[in-house]
Protein backbone atom coordinates (compact mmCIF):
# COMPACT_ATOMS: atom_id res chain seq x y z
CA UNK A 1 0.00 0.00 0.00
CA UNK A 2 1.30 3.46 -0.90
CA UNK A 3 2.48 5.73 1.92
CA UNK A 4 0.39 8.83 2.58
CA UNK A 5 1.80 12.23 3.52
CA UNK A 6 -0.50 14.40 5.62
CA UNK A 7 -0.89 18.11 5.05
CA UNK A 8 0.76 18.76 8.41
CA UNK A 9 3.77 16.55 7.54
CA UNK A 10 4.21 18.19 4.13
CA UNK A 11 3.98 21.64 5.73
CA UNK A 12 6.86 20.67 8.02
CA UNK A 13 8.94 19.30 5.13
CA UNK A 14 8.59 22.28 2.81
CA UNK A 15 9.58 24.77 5.51
CA UNK A 16 9.99 28.41 4.41
CA UNK A 17 8.98 27.86 0.78
CA UNK A 18 7.76 31.43 0.17
CA UNK A 19 11.25 33.06 0.29
CA UNK A 20 12.58 34.49 -2.96
CA UNK A 21 9.39 36.08 -4.31
CA UNK A 22 7.65 35.05 -7.52
CA UNK A 23 4.38 33.22 -8.00
CA UNK A 24 3.17 31.36 -4.92
CA UNK A 25 2.15 28.29 -6.90
CA UNK A 26 5.53 28.08 -8.63
CA UNK A 27 7.43 28.48 -5.36
CA UNK A 28 5.33 25.73 -3.77
CA UNK A 29 5.78 23.45 -6.78
CA UNK A 30 9.54 23.96 -6.83
CA UNK A 31 9.88 23.14 -3.13
CA UNK A 32 7.85 19.92 -3.52
CA UNK A 33 9.89 19.15 -6.64
CA UNK A 34 13.13 19.30 -4.63
CA UNK A 35 11.68 17.08 -1.91
CA UNK A 36 10.83 14.43 -4.50
CA UNK A 37 14.14 14.67 -6.34
CA UNK A 38 16.15 14.43 -3.11
CA UNK A 39 14.09 11.51 -1.81
CA UNK A 40 12.56 13.33 1.15
CA UNK A 41 9.21 12.53 -0.44
CA UNK A 42 9.68 8.92 -1.60
CA UNK A 43 8.28 7.76 -4.93
CA UNK A 44 4.71 6.38 -4.62
CA UNK A 45 3.92 8.59 -1.63
CA UNK A 46 0.38 9.96 -1.76
CA UNK A 47 0.38 13.74 -1.28
CA UNK A 48 -2.34 15.48 0.75
CA UNK A 49 -5.56 16.49 -0.95
CA UNK A 50 -5.48 19.96 -2.47
CA UNK A 51 -8.19 21.24 -0.11
CA UNK A 52 -6.34 19.92 2.98
CA UNK A 53 -2.99 21.38 1.93
CA UNK A 54 -4.55 24.74 1.05
CA UNK A 55 -6.17 24.94 4.46
CA UNK A 56 -2.94 23.96 6.23
CA UNK A 57 -0.80 26.50 4.34
CA UNK A 58 -3.37 29.29 4.44
CA UNK A 59 -3.64 29.39 0.64
CA UNK A 60 -6.47 29.34 -1.83
CA UNK A 61 -7.23 25.95 -3.28
CA UNK A 62 -6.56 27.46 -6.72
CA UNK A 63 -2.91 28.06 -5.75
CA UNK A 64 -2.37 24.47 -4.60
CA UNK A 65 -4.19 23.14 -7.68
CA UNK A 66 -1.83 25.16 -9.90
CA UNK A 67 1.21 23.85 -8.01
CA UNK A 68 0.07 20.24 -8.41
CA UNK A 69 -0.61 20.88 -12.10
CA UNK A 70 2.94 22.21 -12.49
CA UNK A 71 4.30 19.03 -10.90
CA UNK A 72 2.18 16.86 -13.19
CA UNK A 73 3.51 18.71 -16.22
CA UNK A 74 7.04 17.88 -15.07
CA UNK A 75 5.99 14.22 -14.55
CA UNK A 76 6.67 14.39 -10.84
CA UNK A 77 3.07 13.81 -9.81
CA UNK A 78 0.43 11.40 -11.05
CA UNK A 79 -3.19 12.16 -10.19
CA UNK A 80 -6.22 9.91 -10.56
CA UNK A 81 -9.71 11.20 -9.83
CA UNK A 82 -10.90 9.75 -6.56
CA UNK A 83 -7.47 8.32 -5.69
CA UNK A 84 -5.38 11.42 -5.05
CA UNK A 85 -1.94 12.53 -6.28
CA UNK A 86 1.12 10.29 -5.99
CA UNK A 87 4.80 11.30 -6.23
CA UNK A 88 6.58 10.01 -9.31
CA UNK A 89 9.93 10.35 -11.05
CA UNK A 90 10.19 10.94 -14.81
CA UNK A 91 10.17 7.60 -16.59
CA UNK A 92 9.50 5.55 -13.44
CA UNK A 93 9.58 2.64 -12.95
CA UNK A 94 12.21 2.47 -15.70
CA UNK A 95 15.80 3.11 -14.61
CA UNK A 96 16.79 6.64 -15.55
CA UNK A 97 20.09 7.18 -17.38
CA UNK A 98 22.70 9.20 -15.59
CA UNK A 99 23.13 12.75 -16.89
CA UNK A 100 26.21 13.34 -19.07
CA UNK A 101 29.27 14.00 -16.91
CA UNK A 102 30.07 17.07 -19.00
CA UNK A 103 26.70 18.61 -18.12
CA UNK A 104 26.61 18.08 -14.35
CA UNK A 105 29.11 17.92 -11.52
CA UNK A 106 27.65 15.75 -8.74
CA UNK A 107 28.67 17.05 -5.31
CA UNK A 108 25.87 15.16 -3.57
CA UNK A 109 28.23 12.17 -3.33
CA UNK A 110 31.01 12.59 -0.78
CA UNK A 111 33.21 9.77 -2.00
CA UNK A 112 36.82 9.40 -3.08
CA UNK A 113 37.81 8.00 -6.48
CA UNK A 114 38.88 4.38 -6.78
CA UNK A 115 42.33 3.37 -5.61
CA UNK A 116 44.78 3.59 -8.51
CA UNK A 117 45.97 0.01 -7.89
CA UNK A 118 42.47 -1.47 -7.62
CA UNK A 119 42.63 -3.23 -11.04
CA UNK A 120 45.82 -4.98 -9.94
CA UNK A 121 44.12 -6.21 -6.76
CA UNK A 122 41.12 -7.41 -8.79
CA UNK A 123 43.36 -9.45 -11.07
CA UNK A 124 45.12 -11.02 -8.08
CA UNK A 125 41.72 -11.90 -6.57
CA UNK A 126 40.73 -13.69 -9.78
CA UNK A 127 43.85 -15.83 -9.38
CA UNK A 128 42.67 -16.68 -5.83
CA UNK A 129 39.18 -17.64 -6.98
CA UNK A 130 39.74 -21.27 -8.15
CA UNK A 131 40.42 -22.38 -4.58
CA UNK A 132 36.82 -21.39 -3.69
CA UNK A 133 34.94 -22.91 -6.64
CA UNK A 134 34.37 -26.27 -5.02
CA UNK A 135 31.38 -25.22 -2.92
CA UNK A 136 28.08 -23.41 -3.55
CA UNK A 137 29.48 -19.87 -3.26
CA UNK A 138 26.68 -18.69 -0.98
CA UNK A 139 28.42 -17.06 1.97
CA UNK A 140 26.22 -15.30 4.57
CA UNK A 141 28.95 -14.88 7.23
CA UNK A 142 32.13 -14.06 5.29
CA UNK A 143 35.29 -15.83 4.13
CA UNK A 144 37.50 -16.88 7.06
CA UNK A 145 40.52 -15.08 5.60
CA UNK A 146 38.63 -11.79 5.28
CA UNK A 147 37.08 -12.03 8.74
CA UNK A 148 40.54 -12.69 10.19
CA UNK A 149 41.98 -9.67 8.34
CA UNK A 150 39.21 -7.38 9.63
CA UNK A 151 39.62 -8.73 13.18
CA UNK A 152 43.38 -8.14 13.01
CA UNK A 153 42.78 -4.55 11.91
CA UNK A 154 40.54 -3.87 14.91
CA UNK A 155 43.11 -5.46 17.21
CA UNK A 156 45.86 -3.26 15.77
CA UNK A 157 43.68 -0.19 16.47
CA UNK A 158 43.36 -1.09 20.15
CA UNK A 159 40.20 -3.23 20.09
CA UNK A 160 41.03 -6.95 20.51
CA UNK A 161 38.76 -8.86 18.13
CA UNK A 162 38.36 -12.47 16.99
CA UNK A 163 37.12 -13.55 13.53
CA UNK A 164 34.02 -15.02 15.20
CA UNK A 165 32.93 -11.45 16.06
CA UNK A 166 32.87 -10.41 12.40
CA UNK A 167 30.07 -10.72 9.83
CA UNK A 168 30.77 -9.60 6.26
CA UNK A 169 27.97 -7.66 4.55
CA UNK A 170 27.09 -5.99 1.26
CA UNK A 171 28.49 -2.65 2.38
CA UNK A 172 27.82 -0.49 5.43
CA UNK A 173 24.27 0.40 4.40
CA UNK A 174 23.38 -3.29 4.31
CA UNK A 175 24.95 -3.71 7.75
CA UNK A 176 22.89 -0.84 9.20
CA UNK A 177 19.73 -2.29 7.70
CA UNK A 178 20.43 -5.75 9.13
CA UNK A 179 21.10 -4.33 12.58
CA UNK A 180 17.93 -2.23 12.43
CA UNK A 181 15.85 -5.31 11.62
CA UNK A 182 17.55 -7.41 14.30
CA UNK A 183 17.42 -4.86 17.13
CA UNK A 184 14.33 -2.72 16.53
CA UNK A 185 10.69 -3.71 16.76
CA UNK A 186 7.80 -1.65 15.44
CA UNK A 187 7.21 1.26 17.79
CA UNK A 188 10.57 0.95 19.57
CA UNK A 189 12.53 4.14 20.09
CA UNK A 190 15.89 4.58 18.35
CA UNK A 191 18.24 7.48 18.99
CA UNK A 192 20.04 9.27 16.15
CA UNK A 193 22.13 12.39 15.79
CA UNK A 194 20.81 15.39 13.89
CA UNK A 195 22.06 16.06 11.31
CA UNK A 196 23.09 12.55 10.31
CA UNK A 197 23.57 10.17 7.41
CA UNK A 198 20.09 10.03 5.82
CA UNK A 199 20.09 6.39 4.73
CA UNK A 200 20.74 5.33 8.31
CA UNK A 201 17.62 6.93 9.71
CA UNK A 202 15.70 5.60 6.70
CA UNK A 203 16.80 2.06 7.62
CA UNK A 204 15.71 2.54 11.22
CA UNK A 205 12.36 3.94 10.13
CA UNK A 206 11.85 1.03 7.75
CA UNK A 207 12.31 -1.31 10.72
CA UNK A 208 9.49 0.51 12.51
CA UNK A 209 11.53 2.72 14.86
CA UNK A 210 10.27 5.92 16.42
CA UNK A 211 13.25 8.23 16.05
CA UNK A 212 14.60 10.39 18.87
CA UNK A 213 17.04 13.06 17.67
CA UNK A 214 19.97 14.67 19.48
CA UNK A 215 21.65 17.78 18.07
CA UNK A 216 25.15 17.19 16.72
CA UNK A 217 27.73 19.86 17.44
CA UNK A 218 29.95 21.23 14.70
CA UNK A 219 33.51 19.94 14.75
CA UNK A 220 35.07 23.11 16.13
CA UNK A 221 32.51 23.69 18.89
CA UNK A 222 34.24 22.07 21.82
CA UNK A 223 37.08 23.06 24.08
CA UNK A 224 38.71 19.68 23.59
CA UNK A 225 38.56 19.92 19.79
CA UNK A 226 36.17 16.99 19.53
CA UNK A 227 32.74 18.61 19.64
CA UNK A 228 31.05 20.40 22.47
CA UNK A 229 31.04 18.86 25.92
CA UNK A 230 27.30 19.51 26.00
CA UNK A 231 26.84 17.06 23.14
CA UNK A 232 27.79 14.12 25.34
CA UNK A 233 25.49 15.47 28.03
CA UNK A 234 22.68 15.78 25.49
CA UNK A 235 23.24 12.19 24.33
CA UNK A 236 23.30 10.87 27.90
CA UNK A 237 20.17 12.85 28.77
CA UNK A 238 18.33 11.64 25.66
CA UNK A 239 19.23 8.01 26.35
CA UNK A 240 17.93 8.32 29.90
CA UNK A 241 14.74 10.11 28.88
CA UNK A 242 13.78 8.10 25.78
CA UNK A 243 15.09 4.68 26.90
CA UNK A 244 15.82 3.65 23.28
CA UNK A 245 16.52 0.07 22.23
CA UNK A 246 19.29 1.29 19.91
CA UNK A 247 21.36 4.39 19.15
CA UNK A 248 23.04 5.09 15.80
CA UNK A 249 26.17 7.27 16.08
CA UNK A 250 29.10 8.27 13.89
CA UNK A 251 31.73 8.99 16.57
CA UNK A 252 34.56 9.76 14.14
CA UNK A 253 34.42 12.43 11.40
CA UNK A 254 30.65 12.41 11.40
CA UNK A 255 28.81 12.69 8.09
CA UNK A 256 27.92 15.52 7.44
CA UNK A 257 29.46 17.68 10.21
CA UNK A 258 32.98 16.19 10.33
CA UNK A 259 33.10 16.30 14.14
CA UNK A 260 34.47 13.55 16.42
CA UNK A 261 33.53 12.57 19.97
CA UNK A 262 36.37 12.73 22.49
CA UNK A 263 37.39 9.82 24.70
CA UNK A 264 35.53 11.09 27.78
CA UNK A 265 32.33 11.64 25.77
CA UNK A 266 32.57 8.10 24.36
CA UNK A 267 32.82 6.59 27.82
CA UNK A 268 29.90 8.61 29.18
CA UNK A 269 27.58 7.80 26.30
CA UNK A 270 28.39 4.08 26.31
CA UNK A 271 27.99 3.91 30.09
CA UNK A 272 24.54 5.52 29.87
CA UNK A 273 23.47 3.14 27.11
CA UNK A 274 24.77 0.07 28.94
CA UNK A 275 22.85 0.96 32.11
CA UNK A 276 19.56 0.91 30.17
CA UNK A 277 20.39 -1.95 27.82
CA UNK A 278 20.45 0.21 24.66
CA UNK A 279 22.63 -1.11 21.83
CA UNK A 280 24.94 1.55 20.39
CA UNK A 281 25.64 1.14 16.67
CA UNK A 282 28.87 2.93 15.72
CA UNK A 283 29.20 3.68 12.01
CA UNK A 284 32.93 3.68 11.23
CA UNK A 285 32.80 4.15 7.47
CA UNK A 286 34.83 7.37 7.81
CA UNK A 287 36.63 6.57 11.08
CA UNK A 288 40.11 6.05 9.64
CA UNK A 289 40.02 8.98 7.21
CA UNK A 290 42.21 11.06 9.50
CA UNK A 291 43.98 14.11 8.09
CA UNK A 292 45.63 15.71 11.11
CA UNK A 293 43.55 14.85 14.17
CA UNK A 294 45.39 14.86 17.50
CA UNK A 295 45.29 12.80 19.67
CA UNK A 296 44.45 9.41 18.22
CA UNK A 297 41.19 7.81 19.32
CA UNK A 298 40.42 4.10 19.54
CA UNK A 299 37.31 2.48 18.03
CA UNK A 300 34.18 3.23 20.05
CA UNK A 301 33.84 -0.34 21.36
CA UNK A 302 37.23 0.03 23.10
CA UNK A 303 35.50 2.43 25.53
CA UNK A 304 32.46 0.25 26.29
CA UNK A 305 29.84 -2.05 24.71
CA UNK A 306 29.09 -1.09 21.11
CA UNK A 307 28.39 -2.74 17.77
CA UNK A 308 30.75 -1.58 15.02
CA UNK A 309 29.92 -1.09 11.34
CA UNK A 310 32.63 -0.63 8.72
CA UNK A 311 33.19 -0.86 4.98
CA UNK A 312 35.66 -0.10 2.21
CA UNK A 313 33.23 2.19 0.38
CA UNK A 314 34.96 5.40 1.51
CA UNK A 315 38.56 4.17 1.65
CA UNK A 316 38.80 1.90 -1.42
CA UNK A 317 35.88 2.67 -3.75
CA UNK A 318 32.11 2.81 -3.55
CA UNK A 319 31.89 0.21 -6.31
CA UNK A 320 33.37 -2.49 -4.06
CA UNK A 321 30.27 -3.42 -2.06
CA UNK A 322 31.79 -5.05 1.01
CA UNK A 323 31.24 -4.02 4.62
CA UNK A 324 31.13 -5.70 8.00
CA UNK A 325 29.67 -5.81 11.48
CA UNK A 326 31.72 -6.37 14.63
CA UNK A 327 29.53 -7.68 17.44
CA UNK A 328 29.34 -10.32 20.14
CA UNK A 329 28.69 -13.85 18.91
CA UNK A 330 25.01 -14.07 20.06
CA UNK A 331 24.16 -10.98 17.99
CA UNK A 332 26.07 -12.38 15.00
CA UNK A 333 23.83 -15.47 15.19
CA UNK A 334 20.71 -13.26 15.29
CA UNK A 335 21.95 -11.31 12.29
CA UNK A 336 22.41 -14.52 10.30
CA UNK A 337 18.77 -15.40 10.94
CA UNK A 338 17.62 -11.91 9.90
CA UNK A 339 19.79 -11.94 6.78
CA UNK A 340 18.67 -15.19 5.14
CA UNK A 341 15.25 -13.98 3.91
CA UNK A 342 16.79 -10.98 2.19
CA UNK A 343 20.04 -12.16 0.62
CA UNK A 344 22.25 -15.23 0.50
CA UNK A 345 25.63 -13.71 1.16
CA UNK A 346 28.43 -11.46 -0.04
CA UNK A 347 30.09 -12.12 -3.45
CA UNK A 348 33.21 -14.26 -3.11
CA UNK A 349 35.35 -12.39 -5.64
CA UNK A 350 34.83 -9.04 -3.93
CA UNK A 351 35.65 -10.62 -0.56
CA UNK A 352 38.92 -11.92 -2.00
CA UNK A 353 39.75 -8.40 -3.17
CA UNK A 354 38.96 -6.87 0.22
CA UNK A 355 40.94 -9.52 2.10
CA UNK A 356 44.02 -8.24 0.25
CA UNK A 357 43.03 -4.58 0.63
CA UNK A 358 42.43 -4.69 4.40
CA UNK A 359 46.05 -5.76 4.82
CA UNK A 360 47.08 -2.69 2.80
CA UNK A 361 45.07 -0.29 4.98
CA UNK A 362 48.06 1.77 6.15
CA UNK A 363 49.20 2.33 2.57
CA UNK A 364 45.64 3.21 1.49
CA UNK A 365 45.18 5.68 4.34
CA UNK A 366 48.46 7.42 3.57
CA UNK A 367 47.23 8.13 0.04
CA UNK A 368 43.76 9.18 1.20
CA UNK A 369 45.20 11.48 3.87
CA UNK A 370 47.08 13.51 1.28
CA UNK A 371 44.09 13.61 -1.08
CA UNK A 372 41.76 14.79 1.68
CA UNK A 373 44.25 17.34 3.02
CA UNK A 374 44.59 18.90 -0.44
CA UNK A 375 40.81 18.84 -0.99
CA UNK A 376 40.03 20.34 2.40
CA UNK A 377 42.60 23.14 2.15
CA UNK A 378 41.55 24.08 -1.37
CA UNK A 379 37.83 24.09 -0.59
CA UNK A 380 38.30 26.18 2.56
CA UNK A 381 40.41 28.72 0.65
CA UNK A 382 37.95 28.99 -2.24
CA UNK A 383 34.91 29.32 0.02
CA UNK A 384 36.61 31.99 2.12
CA UNK A 385 37.24 34.06 -1.02
CA UNK A 386 33.85 33.50 -2.66
CA UNK A 387 31.60 33.52 0.41
CA UNK A 388 33.22 35.52 3.22
CA UNK A 389 29.94 35.58 5.19
CA UNK A 390 29.57 31.80 5.28
CA UNK A 391 30.81 29.82 8.28
CA UNK A 392 33.13 27.02 7.12
CA UNK A 393 34.27 24.78 10.01
CA UNK A 394 37.83 23.48 9.78
CA UNK A 395 37.66 19.67 9.79
CA UNK A 396 40.60 17.40 10.66
CA UNK A 397 39.37 14.34 8.81
CA UNK A 398 36.44 12.70 7.11
CA UNK A 399 34.86 13.50 3.77
CA UNK A 400 32.88 16.72 4.16
CA UNK A 401 32.37 20.04 5.88
CA UNK A 402 29.05 21.38 7.17
CA UNK A 403 28.83 24.96 5.95
CA UNK A 404 26.67 27.58 7.66
CA UNK A 405 24.97 29.76 5.04
CA UNK A 406 23.70 32.42 7.44
CA UNK A 407 20.14 32.17 6.07
CA UNK A 408 17.53 29.40 5.64
CA UNK A 409 18.06 29.04 1.88
CA UNK A 410 19.74 25.65 1.45
CA UNK A 411 16.92 24.07 -0.57
CA UNK A 412 16.60 27.17 -2.71
CA UNK A 413 20.35 27.15 -3.33
CA UNK A 414 20.26 23.45 -4.27
CA UNK A 415 17.60 24.18 -6.88
CA UNK A 416 19.55 27.12 -8.28
CA UNK A 417 22.80 25.14 -8.38
CA UNK A 418 21.25 22.48 -10.61
CA UNK A 419 20.57 25.09 -13.26
CA UNK A 420 24.28 25.95 -13.14
CA UNK A 421 25.43 22.37 -13.65
CA UNK A 422 26.06 21.45 -10.01
CA UNK A 423 24.18 18.84 -7.97
CA UNK A 424 24.34 19.39 -4.21
CA UNK A 425 22.36 17.89 -1.37
CA UNK A 426 20.38 20.49 0.55
CA UNK A 427 20.92 20.66 4.31
CA UNK A 428 17.48 19.22 5.16
CA UNK A 429 18.45 15.97 3.43
CA UNK A 430 20.51 15.23 6.56
CA UNK A 431 17.77 16.06 9.02
CA UNK A 432 14.22 15.02 9.67
CA UNK A 433 11.11 17.01 8.77
CA UNK A 434 12.77 19.92 6.98
CA UNK A 435 15.45 20.97 9.45
CA UNK A 436 18.88 22.47 8.58
CA UNK A 437 17.87 24.93 5.89
CA UNK A 438 20.77 27.13 7.08
CA UNK A 439 23.41 24.48 6.27
CA UNK A 440 24.98 22.80 3.27
CA UNK A 441 27.21 19.73 3.14
CA UNK A 442 30.17 20.12 0.82
CA UNK A 443 32.62 17.25 0.17
CA UNK A 444 36.37 17.73 0.55
CA UNK A 445 37.30 14.67 -1.53
CA UNK A 446 37.18 15.93 -5.12
CA UNK A 447 40.03 16.89 -7.46
CA UNK A 448 41.27 20.50 -7.59
CA UNK A 449 39.65 20.97 -11.01
CA UNK A 450 36.29 19.62 -9.79
CA UNK A 451 36.43 21.69 -6.60
CA UNK A 452 37.22 24.86 -8.57
CA UNK A 453 34.30 24.21 -10.93
CA UNK A 454 31.92 23.42 -8.08
CA UNK A 455 32.67 26.58 -6.13
CA UNK A 456 32.38 28.69 -9.30
CA UNK A 457 28.97 27.13 -10.04
CA UNK A 458 27.92 27.62 -6.43
CA UNK A 459 28.87 31.30 -6.62
CA UNK A 460 26.76 31.76 -9.76
CA UNK A 461 23.84 29.97 -8.09
CA UNK A 462 24.17 32.10 -4.94
CA UNK A 463 23.99 35.29 -7.00
CA UNK A 464 20.94 34.10 -8.91
CA UNK A 465 18.86 32.75 -6.04
CA UNK A 466 15.96 35.12 -6.51
CA UNK A 467 15.36 34.13 -10.12
CA UNK A 468 16.80 30.67 -10.59
CA UNK A 469 15.05 28.66 -13.36
CA UNK A 470 13.53 25.28 -12.58
CA UNK A 471 16.04 22.38 -12.69
CA UNK A 472 15.97 19.45 -15.06
CA UNK A 473 13.89 16.90 -13.11
CA UNK A 474 15.81 13.97 -14.60
CA UNK A 475 18.86 14.85 -12.47
CA UNK A 476 18.63 12.96 -9.18
CA UNK A 477 20.77 13.39 -6.06
CA UNK A 478 21.60 10.09 -4.34
CA UNK A 479 23.32 11.18 -1.14
CA UNK A 480 26.31 9.16 0.09
The answer to whether residues 71 and 130 belong to one domain is: no
CA separation for the pair 306, 473 (Å, rounded): 42
Evaluate whether residue 1 is within a structural domain. Answer: no
Total of domains in the chain: 3
The answer to whether residues 397 and 453 belong to one domain is: yes
CA separation for the pair 49, 40 (Å, rounded): 19
Q: Are 110 and 443 in contact, with CB atoms under 8 Å apart?
A: yes
In this prediction, residue 223 carries a pLDDT of 32
Evaluate whether residue 133 is within a structural domain. Answer: yes
The answer to whether residues 355 and 382 belong to one domain is: no
In this prediction, residue 21 carries a pLDDT of 59
* Final residue of a structural domain among 359, 387, 419: 359
Specify burial of residue 92 (Cβ count, 10 A radius: 0-12, 13-18, 19+).
middle
Q: What is the DSSP letter of 98?
A: P
Q: Are 168 and 146 in contact, with CB atoms under 8 Å apart?
A: yes
| Ordered strands of the 323-326 beta sheet | 166-169, 323-326, 307-311, 279-283, 246-249, 189-194, 210-215
| CA neighbor of 426 nearest in space, from 35, 88, 111 | 35
Determine the structural domain holding residue 147 and report its residue range.
Answer: 118-359
In this prediction, residue 18 carries a pLDDT of 74
In this prediction, residue 227 carries a pLDDT of 47
* Final residue of a structural domain among 334, 359, 384: 359
In this prediction, residue 461 carries a pLDDT of 95
Evaluate whether residue 93 is within a structural domain. Answer: no
CA separation for the pair 101, 114 (Å, rounded): 17
The answer to whether residues 416 and 322 belong to one domain is: no
- 480 residues of the chain, pLDDT tens digit each: 357 889 988 888 887 777 655 788 988 998 888 888 767 787 788 899 999 999 999 999 999 999 999 999 888 888 877 678 888 876 544 333 444 445 789 999 999 999 999 999 999 999 999 999 999 999 999 999 999 999 999 999 999 999 999 999 999 999 999 999 999 999 999 999 999 999 999 999 999 999 999 988 654 433 333 444 577 889 999 999 999 999 999 999 999 999 999 999 999 999 999 999 999 999 999 999 999 998 889 999 999 999 999 999 999 999 999 999 999 999 999 999 999 888 999 999 999 999 999 999 999 999 999 999 999 999 999 999 999 999 999 999 999 999 999 988 898 899 899 889 999 989 989 988 668 889 999 999 999 999 999 999 999 999 988 543 344 444 444 567
The answer to whether residues 190 and 328 belong to one domain is: yes
* Final residue of a structural domain among 332, 359, 386: 359
The answer to whether residues 167 and 283 belong to one domain is: yes
Evaluate whether residue 96 is within a structural domain. Answer: no
The answer to whether residues 147 and 62 belong to one domain is: no
The answer to whether residues 337 and 373 belong to one domain is: no
In this prediction, residue 13 carries a pLDDT of 82
Q: What is the CATH number of the domain that holds 426?
A: 3.90.1150.10
Evaluate whether residue 474 is within a structural domain. Answer: no
Q: Name the phi and psi angles at 54, rounded to 5.
A: -60, -45
Q: What is the CATH number of the domain that holds 144?
A: 3.40.640.10
The answer to whether residues 192 and 337 belong to one domain is: yes
Q: What is the CATH number of the domain that holds 27?
A: 1.10.10.10
Evaluate whether residue 229 is within a structural domain. Answer: yes
Q: Are 197 and 283 in contact, with CB atoms under 8 Å apart?
A: yes
In this prediction, residue 451 carries a pLDDT of 97
Evaluate whether residue 2 is within a structural domain. Answer: no
* CA distances from residue 465 to 146, 388, 408 in whole angstroms, order as listed: 50, 17, 12
Q: Are 40 and 428 in contact, with CB atoms under 8 Å apart?
A: yes
CA separation for the pair 146, 144 (Å, rounded): 6
In this prediction, residue 104 carries a pLDDT of 84
* CA distances from residue 40 to 114, 267, 426, 466, 470 in whole angstroms, order as listed: 29, 34, 11, 23, 18
Amino acid sequence: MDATLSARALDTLIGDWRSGGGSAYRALAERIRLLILDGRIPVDTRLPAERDLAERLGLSRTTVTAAYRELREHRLLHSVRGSGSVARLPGAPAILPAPPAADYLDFSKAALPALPWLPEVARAAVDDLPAHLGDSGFDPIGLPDLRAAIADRYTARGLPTSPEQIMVTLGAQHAISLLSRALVGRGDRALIEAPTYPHAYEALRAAGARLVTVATSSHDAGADGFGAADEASDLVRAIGHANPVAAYLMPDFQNPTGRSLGADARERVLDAAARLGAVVIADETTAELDIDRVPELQPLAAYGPAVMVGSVGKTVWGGVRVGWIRADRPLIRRLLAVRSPGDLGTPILEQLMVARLVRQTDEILALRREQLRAGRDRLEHLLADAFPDWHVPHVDGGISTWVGLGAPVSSQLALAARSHGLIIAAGPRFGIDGAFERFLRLPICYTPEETDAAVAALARAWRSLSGAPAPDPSVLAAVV
